Structure 1
């Protein structure tokens, strides 16, 4: 099973009596904590920090270590220490004491490593097609027919397609709705509805024969296909994005009115704005973007004050949009709510 796994970089620390003036440890944070099954990195971060997205600072991570960290597992012991007055977490390795970061990765079953955020809430979205741009949609292979002139198909049915160019597993989808930037009105892509999986039986020049191996929702003549992604592990550490990145929620998955804790949402910022997995954004309700005319005549985009109601943890990034999980919410997030980089502690 695909696991969205988080891992940590490790650093050696020595105890000193003072707190850092830039990183605040929560009162009552444990000096030692044993990781247990069911823990998430976000949850453990919250035991130590008022601002869990500052987790890399507590572990003394550089940018490459944030993107390419180490696994941690149930049974590992985290130790809170201080170096030059700055708090630091280290990992205790049995009787050998604390261990510094190294390129070595523990070769055990990584399915046992703890996840960054609740894995069940995002696993389906790591594998499914979620967004395609207009060109991808128009040029995608199509399902053109099935058995007995039926229009809808189920698991095990043989189907016929046009445009499938290689063997293997393909995913069936249909466009659900366009994702429109609320400010620029740009079409950012099409959110799609995942139908299921199909495997190629025979490639033909015009028509390809396939059979359905998995059905998630209704599959119809006219549906599109996209090559299934390779199975891979995703690792990310919660961290603050570039302070200049600001956007809005443009879709709540499944079309519900409000996104509560552990709901999946789409924001109108993606790879082209340097958003990356692990970025954490504030959700600001009742904020309103406005354009100011400055004294020199230049225009400046600003946002009127609003109420912070939670956080979004970004786990999948496309060119112009990103998917995130709502965390620590005190109110339901809605389409139109502003997202921005978290403020300092």
Structure 2
């Protein structure tokens, strides 16, 4: 699969909020830093800032730089300077040279650019899992048969479907769990389970022939088929939500109990609430109840204040829910933890 490039250069056209707060540099921030393979913009900025997600501010990205971005590659040298007393990173190009963004740029050049966040941690989620409503899912094309009347199919198997109307690549899904808002109890959609990939061999009016090209978990008779999305570049520049949106973690991918760095979590806010790719949320742990003795000698239960638990970077947004990558975790993050703008810390 083509690498999903999430670099500074792909910030084209993305409006950034105005930053009014002062950047806080780390005491050990290097004056010069040579970019190495495996670096991310978040990680590099963590060498300079106490809040790494504010790297667009450190770069002093303006509209001109966003329209004509430069690429950052291993071997490039970052130099810490000051402009009107404010810190700024500038770039000295390394052996890769100063490559200009153009339609003729080779894909190999793009793939070597430094990513904003770890691309490998989110690539499996950019095309799957899929969140849909139940009615839409039930109306999708369905696998009706395979070889030797088997119920499960493997790579290379010829299978048959009903409802496929387009050639090309398709993905198999089966019903998963509903995503329920913990406060309103609203059904926010169904997270369906990805089974594998298929390609169309022949389209006939009633029955279509496909071949299984890859298995993720398993492909079963009765699975629904969804047209595979086209490869696309993902454009992420981290920024805080500016509309005061708050929510909760409602699930941790793969059903584990707690999330740590680079885990994927699902929040109960999506595009209808103004959430967008690149939003950074702080995660806050609910304060625990504690019994105390008041001044009058009476015992009572009080709630300790909420404590910051980490940072979540939103990378995929649906209408009512969003997927986020845990970038920082001071403690285990759990279902029910509150998400809000990181400035609220």
Deviation at 1:37, TM superposition (A): 0.1
Q: Please list the CA deviations of residues 279-317 of structure 1 after superposition, one character each: whole Å capped at 9, or x if unmatched.
A: 1111111269xxxxxxxxxxxxxx994111111111111
> Are 1:200 and 2:227 an aligned pair?
no
Is the contact between residue 41 and residue 114 of structure 2 (CA under 8 Å) also seen in structure 1? yes
CA distance change for structure 1 residues 329 and 21 in 2, over 3 Å: closer, same or farther? closer
Matching residue of 1:156: 156
Correspondence for 2:105 among 95, 104, 107? 107
Deviation at 1:169, TM superposition (A): 0.2
Unaligned regions of 5+ residues in structure 1, if any? 11-19, 289-302
Unaligned regions of 5+ residues in structure 2, if any? 11-19, 289-302
Matching residue of 1:36: 36
Deviation at 1:65, TM superposition (A): 6.4
CA distance in 2, matches of 1:114, 1:242: 27
CA distance change for structure 1 residues 105 and 199 in 2, over 3 Å: closer, same or farther? closer
Aligned residues: 318
CA distance in 1, matches of 2:344, 2:84: 21
Is the contact between residue 71 and residue 106 of structure 1 (CA under 8 Å) also seen in structure 2? no
Matching residue of 1:74: 74
Moved more, 207-216 or 325-334: 325-334
Matching residue of 1:298: none
CA distance in 1, matches of 2:211, 2:32: 53
CA distance change for structure 1 residues 250 and 145 in 2, over 3 Å: closer, same or farther? same
Task: Map 1:60-71; keep pairs closer than 5 Å.
Answer: 60-62=60-62, 70-71=70-71
CA distance change for structure 1 residues 187 and 136 in 2, over 3 Å: closer, same or farther? same
Q: Please list the CA deviations of residues 320-342 of structure 1 after superposition, one character each: whole Å capped at 9, or x if unmatched.
A: 11111112212111111111110
TM-score by length of 1: 0.84
Is the contact between residue 287 and residue 337 of structure 1 (CA under 8 Å) also seen in structure 2? no
Larger RCO, structures 1/2 (Cα 8 Å, 6+ apart):
1
> Are 1:332 and 2:329 an aligned pair?
no
CA distance in 2, matches of 1:147, 1:64: 58
Deviation at 1:147, TM superposition (A): 1.3
Is the contact between residue 8 and residue 116 of structure 2 (CA under 8 Å) also seen in structure 1? no
CA distance in 1, matches of 2:256, 2:219: 23
> Are 1:121 and 2:128 an aligned pair?
no
CA distance in 2, matches of 1:21, 1:225: 48
Matched residue of 1:125: which SS?
Answer: helix
Task: Map 1:250-265; keep pairs closer than 5 Å.
Answer: 250-265=250-265
Over the aligned positions, Cα root-mean-square deviation in angstroms equals 2.8
CA distance in 1, matches of 2:9, 2:167: 39
CA distance change for structure 1 residues 7 and 119 in 2, over 3 Å: closer, same or farther? closer
CA distance in 2, matches of 1:94, 1:304: 51
Moved more, 319-328 or 69-78: 69-78
